[in-house]
């Protein structure tokens, strides 16, 4: 019994598929880092989650908003010990200053 080698289309299709797979694999490795001004964090650090939640509670108390309607929406580090947290308290924006020990310094309307 003699087997004949396949030639023609099936060989070239397999080669084309292999080349396409290799090109896709290599293109996945060729990503570049975004420019510094396009990165999510450049120079500002956000407040830790526990401090954001402390500010949310303080904003709920200051505005009388129900706790389930209060949400920290942004935060940033002010200096080595203090953070500012923007809070949406049932549609009313507040700014909260909290230190790294968890002491809420102020809650003011924005």
Residues 48 and 85: their CA atoms lie apart, in Å, by 10
Length of the chain counted residue by residue: 110
> Are 107 and 58 a contacting pair, CB within 8 Å?
yes
Domain ranges of the chain: 49-109
49-109 CATH choice from 1.10.1070, 3.40.50, 3.10.450, 3.40.1000: 3.10.450
pLDDT at 78: 97
Beta-carbon neighbour count of residue 58 at 10 Å?
A: 22
pLDDT digits (tens, 9 = 90+) for 30-62: 556 666 655 554 557 999 999 999 999 999 999
The whole-number pLDDT of residue 109 equals 96
């Amino acid at each position: 019994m003699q087997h004949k080698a396949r030639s023609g289309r099936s060989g070239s299709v397999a080669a084309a598929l292999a080349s396409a797979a290799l090109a896709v694999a290599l293109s996945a490795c060729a990503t570049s880092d975004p420019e510094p001004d396009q990165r999510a964090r450049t120079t500002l650090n956000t407040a830790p989650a526990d401090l954001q939640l402390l500010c949310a509670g303080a904003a709920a108390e200051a505005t009388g908003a129900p706790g389930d309607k209060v949400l920290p929406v942004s935060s940033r580090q002010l200096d080595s010990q203090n953070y500012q947290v923007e809070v949406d308290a049932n549609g009313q924006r507040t700014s909260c200053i909290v230190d790294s020990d968890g002491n809420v310094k102020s809650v003011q309307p924005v």
